[in-house]
Amino acid sequence: MSLAERRLLETADALVVQFDALEEQREEFEAILRSMTEAVVVTGARGEVVLMNGAARQLFGLAPGAGHTGREFVELCRDPRLQEFVARATVGEGGVLNGEFAIQTPAARHLEVSAAPVRHGGAAARVLVFHDITRLKLYETARTDFIANLTHELRTPLSALCGYAETLSRGVDDRETERRFLAIIDRQAQRLARLIDDLISLSDLERGLTPLKLESIEPSELAAEIVDLVGERARRAEIELELRCAETLPSIQADHDRMQQVLLNLLDNALKYTPRGGRVTTEVLALSGGTNGSRDRPGVAFKVIDTGEGVPAADIPRLTERFYRVDRARSRELGGTGLGLAIVKHILQMHQGTLAIESRLREGTTVTIWLPAALL
């Protein structure tokens, strides 16, 4: 074999090694792209798509198997503001371009976009990275709403406390007026204390700082205990209070104090919004149900049925939100904090239970909670 032939073979072997290394790098690069949760799109000098990962296809609602390489980005995303951003990034010279967009196609999303220059095949290209911050924006909105609602809820009793206390400090000649003002101060102070207690309770539940003290509980005994606790209040309001329990009920494994809190909240709401002469019924029955898709697990249902004003259908899904009220003025007048059902929801989740609300205007409301039976 001549020297030229040996050098040719050596060169061929070196090229094979380099090709293998390039292929390995390409596979690694594609594996990284596939595993990225961020959507990545590489566009060429004319704005055509050179490369796109699965997260990008999912973000823009594109079929996984369809060919998108070579098509212009504007054909894949119909949002005009995002199209303009990509166009500016394509013609831009160097540097990283950033933007934030709310897009509606194919679904409502809030995106943070970064565009950086790169060389692809010797030509200028841009790497676009899309960060989906939709959930973060929802959290920010929820936090802002919570602070606004909390401020409003605190301001009302505090304004009353300050106003009546200032009036009393200047002196009131009428003894009856003085007693009335003191009663208002006491009522508003109790309302403020309830609000703070509920906020602390809800915060502990959401952060998992409330460990359950599980024990075997007889559902009929628990229901009778709670109905007895609100009996005097129902009599004063001239509301008929009824308890109906099935003859045979399985035990439940639950935290007694927390379940007492749940049922008291439900009966408290029912009595608040039921007019004089109305009726509030508590039913306890064995009922199969479950969570996580299981609907055949044995359990116990507690139903609180009232003949009150009812709730509009559009408001029912939001009743467990913090501070959400259908009738804000009346709820505050009756002393509600707007946190009761939010607390109920979290306690039930901790017990692997469920909550359902049915209501018709001027016909009443039925709230059903379900808890799994204790394992034998």
- Which pLDDT value is given to residue 200? 86
Contact of 279 with 306, CB cutoff 8 Å = yes
Smallest CA-to-CA distance from 54 within 75, 82, 74, 31 is with: 31
Can you tell me which residue has the tokens 């050179």? 50
Determine if residue 360 is left, alpha or beta; phi over 0 gives left, psi from -120 to 50 gives alpha, anything else beta. beta
Contacts 24+ apart (CB under 8 A), 349-358: 350/205, 350/210, 350/212, 350/255, 350/258, 351/212, 351/254, 351/255, 351/258, 351/259, 352/291, 353/291, 353/299, 354/289, 354/291, 355/320, 357/311, 357/316, 357/319, 358/316
- Which pLDDT value is given to residue 191? 82
Can you tell me which residue has the tokens 């094979």? 16
- pLDDT per residue, tens digit, the chain (376 aa), is 677 667 767 677 677 767 666 666 656 656 666 666 788 888 887 778 888 888 888 888 777 766 667 788 777 777 888 888 888 887 765 678 888 888 876 678 888 888 888 766 656 778 888 888 888 888 887 778 778 777 877 887 888 888 888 888 888 778 888 888 888 888 888 888 888 888 888 888 888 888 889 999 999 999 999 999 999 999 999 999 999 999 899 999 999 999 999 999 999 999 998 999 999 999 999 988 765 445 678 899 999 999 998 989 888 998 898 887 776 555 555 556 778 899 999 999 999 999 999 999 888 999 999 999 986 5
- Which pLDDT value is given to residue 209? 80
Cα 116 to the center of its chain, rounded Å: 35
Q: How far apart are CA 135 and CA 331, in angstroms?
A: 31
Structure tokens at 261: 């809190």
Structure tokens at 71: 């098509």
> What separation, in Å, do the N-terminal and C-terminal C-alpha atoms of the chain show?
85
- Which pLDDT value is given to residue 242? 95
- Which pLDDT value is given to residue 66? 60
Q: How far apart are CA 363 and CA 309, in angstroms?
A: 6
Residue 4 dihedral angles phi and psi, to the nearest 5°: -65, -40
Radius of gyration of the chain (CA): 32
> What domains sit in the chain, N to C, each tagged with a CATH number?
36-132 (3.30.450.20), 135-210 (1.10.287.130), 212-376 (3.30.565.10)
Using a cut of 0.85, tell me whether the model's pTM lies above it: no
- In 10 A of CB 65, how many CB atoms? 6
SS3 string, the chain, reads CCHHHHHHHHHHHHHHHHHHHHHHHHHHHHHHHHHCCCEEEEECCCCEEEEECHHHHHHCCCCCCCCCCCCEHHHHCCCHHHHHHHHHHHHCCCCCEEEEEEECCCCCEEEEEEEEEEEECCEEEEEEEEEECHHHHHHHHHHHHHHHHHHHHHHHHHHHHHHHHHHHHCCCCCHHHHHHHHHHHHHHHHHHHHHHHHHHHHHHHHCCCCCCCEEEECHHHHHHHHHHHCHHHHHHCCCEEEEEECCCCCCEEEEHHHHHHHHHHHHHHHHHCCCCCCEEEEEEEECCECCCCCCCECEEEEEEEECCCCCCHHHHHHCCCCCCCCCHHHHHHCCCCCCHHHHHHHHHHHCCCEEEEEEECCCEEEEEEEEEECCC
Side-chain-side CA neighbours of 252 within 13 Å: the count stands at 32
- Which pLDDT value is given to residue 303? 96
